[in-house]
């Protein structure tokens, strides 16, 4: 049993004040990841600062036609929000492919971005892990690495980021609004998560004591031509082996704009602007999509147990782009269960 203090934040400024005053404290939102980590002794916060009563639970339209999603909007509410269903179906599809309905009811938008990797060694404090204990080594590189990275990994860590929602946010160029001791700032989703390099203990570019207050979606939701495909060992309640978020704008039978992000393959949602640019002006057909997949995966590298992911990703990219082009997205679920 770990002893810890508990307090409730009264507003965002109070939350930031409390965490700045006690560096080993942690915010708790839905608790669906943090409490598991505490039970496994991976996280040992001195205090839990409960942010669940803060007024960050609304989804609002922004003056430029986008949406601002409060950090405490539950994942279920977001997936089934009418504006998300109509204008950003990619987000709903990605969220509904993850976890279970009960978990999605508890999980928050901000917490989803900050969930930690599911690398089994990270959760097992008896094994070396550079992410949990910097300098101790990486058990996965020569160990059981079936779920691990094929892109952007380092000699220090080959873990992947587990979020589905973040892959859709990456394709839509979302922004993350944060509040901290130095004031408020906005981080592009592309710059929010980090590659492991030699500092795998740092998952994101959040500064110490900052909290996420909202996610902002730009006006363009690619509602007509987008798709999220998640390949996993079971059809539900499993993390991605590979996932793909694709969004296309078509004009006169050609691709005007193409965006693709991969999940389950790297320490952050993976985008490659050169692969996207190579599709511009081309016909939305299998040959174009195969060339884009080849470009996206040209630097992919497998380990002992996950080389299969490279071909899996190639096929998934082509299939997801084809679904997006045809306007026949993957349907994850259409019923809300309370
Ligand atoms: C069995 C299981 C299966 C799952 N399957 C999937 C899946 O398939 N796909 C998927 O994407 N996810 C999956 N998840 C993960 C789930 O989506 C996350 O656990 C959830 O989104 C985290 O949100 P939370 O509010 O519960 O975060 P918490 O557990 O409360 O917090 C997580 C971290 O974020 C910090 N934090 C929370 N809110 C803020 C904030 N506003 N500002 C700053 N820091 C904050 C906390 O301090 C903590 O470090 C699964 C989880 C479980 C337990
Ligand atoms: S892959 Fe990363 S999280 Fe997993 S054991 Fe290696 S250092 Fe730890």
- Gap between the Cα atoms of 99 and 319, Å rounded: 23
Residue with the nearest Cα to atom 6 of ligand 1?
A: 99
Residue with the nearest Cα to atom 2 of ligand 2?
A: 157
- Report how far ligand 2's centroid is from the alpha carbon of 160 (Å): 9
* Ligand 2 nearest-atom number relative to CA 148: 1
* Ligand 2 nearest-atom number relative to CA 128: 5
pLDDT score of 332 = 66
* Location of structure tokens 């040209």: 298
pLDDT score of 337 = 43
Distance of CA 271 to the CA centre of its chain: 13
- Report the DSSP beta bridge partners of residue 149: none
pLDDT score of 338 = 41
Distances in whole angstroms, Cα of residue 327 to Cα of each of 114, 320, 324: 31, 10, 5
* Ligand 1 nearest-atom number relative to CA 35: 29
- Report how far ligand 1's centroid is from the alpha carbon of 94 (Å): 15
Q: Ligand 2: which residues within 6 Å by Cβ?
A: 117, 119, 121-122, 129-131, 138-140, 157-159, 200
- Report how far ligand 1's centroid is from the alpha carbon of 255 (Å): 36
- Gap between the Cα atoms of 224 and 240, Å rounded: 24
- Gap between the Cα atoms of 211 and 241, Å rounded: 29
- Largest Cα–Cα separation, the chain: 63
- Report how far ligand 2's centroid is from the alpha carbon of 297 (Å): 22
Q: Nearest ligand to the C-alpha of residue 95? A: 1
pLDDT score of 25 = 98
Ligand 2 binding pocket mutation candidate from 125, 131, 134, 199 (most atoms within 8 A of CB): 131
- Report how far ligand 2's centroid is from the alpha carbon of 85 (Å): 36
Indicate the DSSP class of residue 223. -
Distances in whole angstroms, Cα of residue 65 to Cα of each of 24, 89, 214: 39, 16, 16
* Ligand 1 nearest-atom number relative to CA 210: 43
Distance of CA 9 to the CA centre of its chain: 26
Its pTM stands at 0.97
Residue with the nearest Cα to atom 4 of ligand 1?
A: 99
Mapped onto helix, strand or coil, the DSSP state of residue 20 is helix
Ligand 2 binding pocket mutation candidate from 138, 143, 150, 195 (most atoms within 8 A of CB): 138
Q: Please classify residue 55 by burial: count the beta carbons closer than 10 Å to its beta carbon, then call 0-12 exposed, 13-18 middle and 19+ buried.
A: exposed
Q: Ligand 1: which residues within 6 Å by Cβ?
A: 26-34, 36, 51, 71, 75, 98-99, 103, 106-108, 110-112, 114-115, 162-165, 211-212, 239
Indicate the DSSP class of residue 337. -
Residue pair 138/129 in contact (Cβ under 8 Å)? The answer is yes
Element (H, E) at 226: strand 226-231
Question: 10-residue block means of pLDDT along the chain (338 residues)?
Answer: 93 98 97 97 98 98 98 98 98 97 97 98 98 98 98 98 98 98 98 98 97 98 98 92 98 98 98 98 98 98 98 98 92 52
For 181, the token pair is: 């001791």
């Amino acid at each position: 049993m770990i002893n810890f203090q508990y307090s409730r934040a009264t507003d965002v400024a109070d939350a930031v004040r409390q965490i700045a005053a006690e560096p080993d404290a942690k915010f708790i939102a839905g608790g669906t990841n943090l409490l598991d980590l505490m039970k496994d002794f991976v996280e040992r916060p001195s205090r839990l600062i409960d942010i669940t009563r803060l007024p960050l639970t609304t989804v609002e339209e922004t003056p430029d036609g986008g949406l601002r999603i409060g950090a405490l909007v539950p994942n279920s509410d977001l997936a089934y929000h009418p504006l998300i269903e109509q204008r950003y179906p990619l987000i709903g599809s990605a969220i509904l492919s993850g976890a279970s309905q009960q978990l999605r009811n508890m999980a928050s938008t901000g917490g989803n971005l900050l969930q930690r990797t599911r690398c089994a060694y990270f959760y097992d404090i008896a094994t070396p892990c550079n992410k949990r204990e910097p300098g101790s080594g990486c058990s996965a590189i020569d160990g059981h690495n079936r779920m691990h990275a094929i892109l952007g990994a380092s000699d220090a860590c080959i873990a992947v980021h587990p979020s589905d929602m973040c892959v859709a946010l990456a394709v839509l160029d979302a922004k993350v609004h944060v509040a901290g001791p130095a004031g408020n700032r906005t981080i592009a989703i592309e710059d929010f998560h980090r590659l492991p390099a030699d500092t795998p203990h740092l998952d994101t570019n959040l500064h110490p004591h900052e909290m996420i207050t909202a996610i902002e979606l730009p006006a363009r939701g690619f509602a007509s031509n987008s798709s999220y495909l998640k390949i996993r060992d079971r059809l539900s309640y499993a993390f991605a082996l590979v996932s793909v978020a694709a969004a296309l704008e078509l004009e006169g039978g050609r691709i005007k704009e193409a965006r693709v992000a991969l999940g389950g393959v790297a320490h952050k949602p993976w985008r490659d602007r050169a692969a996207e640019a190579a599709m511009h002006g081309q016909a939305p057909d299998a040959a174009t999509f195969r060339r884009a997949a080849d470009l996206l995966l040209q630097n992919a590298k497998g380990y002992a147990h996950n080389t299969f992911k490279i071909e899996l990703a190639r096929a998934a990219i082509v299939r997801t782009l084809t679904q997006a082009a045809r306007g026949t997205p993957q349907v994850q679920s259409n019923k809300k269960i309370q």
